[in-house]
Structure 1
Amino acid sequence: MRIFILALFALGCSGASNASDAPADPATTGMQDMAMEMSTAPDGVPASAKSLVVAGGCFWCVESDFEHRDDVYEAVSGYAGGEKRDATYKNHDGHREVVEVWYDPEATSYGELVRFFLRTIDVTDAGGQFCDRGHSYTTALHYRTPEEKAEAEAAISEAEDALGRKVVTPVEPLPFFVTAEDYHQDYYKSDDRILSRFGYVEKQDAYKGYREGCGRDKRVRAVWGDAAAIPAH
């Protein structure tokens, strides 16, 4: 669906996945026993920074939500959850679109950011997010340590209590993270110009049209009410 909406604004965003690309259950593939690889911080991010990886549908939107926080240094779009180490936008079967969030551990924590994140998504939708459907657009909280797993599970439990509904966002190990193509990084604020049916437009304008057309913020408010965490865009 992202293809259709974005086609109104820009060409080149294609290859949406569907439910058939879902990976096998980590509990039956041995993924839960794989070593958790640590990522290298991007240029300009302090060595003291820590990171977490989450899946919340379109990674452009998740990037934007986190980078509007003062305690986040940078958010990087990518792929995780599958087995391909050379995943690309057009070939990432088994993976989800994810974002690695680099944050200041003196100002915030994994637990605080996970709780914020849950209030930016539809935690009741197991088939995708908003207008984007299929496994690659489903949600997930990834962890690298037992402590992070416990924090994520606690956040899920708190969300269920707050909503009075089941949260379908899974908590899964993160064997590795694959950085997405440069084209997708910082899409929401890029002034690069791309071709649309209306002529050339800046990516940031195409992004705004996509986000509004997909109904992301409207649905998050419907799920969370006043507790919704929607940064100004």
Structure 2
Amino acid sequence: MDALIRELDSGSLPPLSIKESRPDGLLDPEAARYNLTVKIDFDWRPGDSLTITWAGTPGSGSYTSPRIPIGGFTRPFQTHIDNLLVAFNVQQSVIVFYTVYRGIEPPVTSQPLPLYITRINQLNLPRPFIRQADNDGQGGELNVSNLSEFTLRINAWLLGRRGNPFWLELKGQNADGSDFKARYWQAPGNMVDDEFNRYGFFEQNFDAEPLQRLRNGSVLSLNFMAGLQGSQDPLLAQPFAHRNYIVLSPAKS
């Protein structure tokens, strides 16, 4: 006598798992830096297919895969989905599930996997720097006395990709007591391109004369942010930790 085959229902479809997430349902963006890996395991049959759904913020923050013919795979099934989904859902909750299609039966949705995408830790993001500052830009002082040019640089960042716009603003105090504020990079003129991706950084030279007017001993702050979602709206950009230098300047205090 043939064994009874259990009818397909949500109870027979356990939640999928995300390899990069934690057991407590938190997903650190740093863990998904390179991959977002889905693992599915249930008693499928030849001819079964499924779709994977990441239900997050509307639009680009959500995704449903094309149908995947799973019947010929060995258990468990593992695949990757675009980790850009993480960038669109930072500090948001998402639901991830799969839907199984079997012959002429109605499609059945699995039990859901709820996830919370944590904020991006600033320690996992690079800070902009000026190459001519001490310790090749990593130190705390910037001597502008003999500079004719200075070089601004940012290294590649977590979840960055081609098309990400970025902004960089310098803030300080001039020797006459007035505020110094200048935006050196901004969208749409500054975007991650193939050359940025190839070298892993972007840098550009500028005239040092504005920096030589800064007050000696004052703080020069480098403020950088990037549009991880690809938007050119600075209100949606991810701010990075500031880089501060003490300015050593010939200007009169």
TM-score after normalising by structure 1: 0.23
Structure with greater strand percent: 2
Q: Work out which structure has the larger RCO, using CA pairs closer than 8 Å and 6 or more positions apart in sequence.
A: 1
Structure with greater helix percent: 1
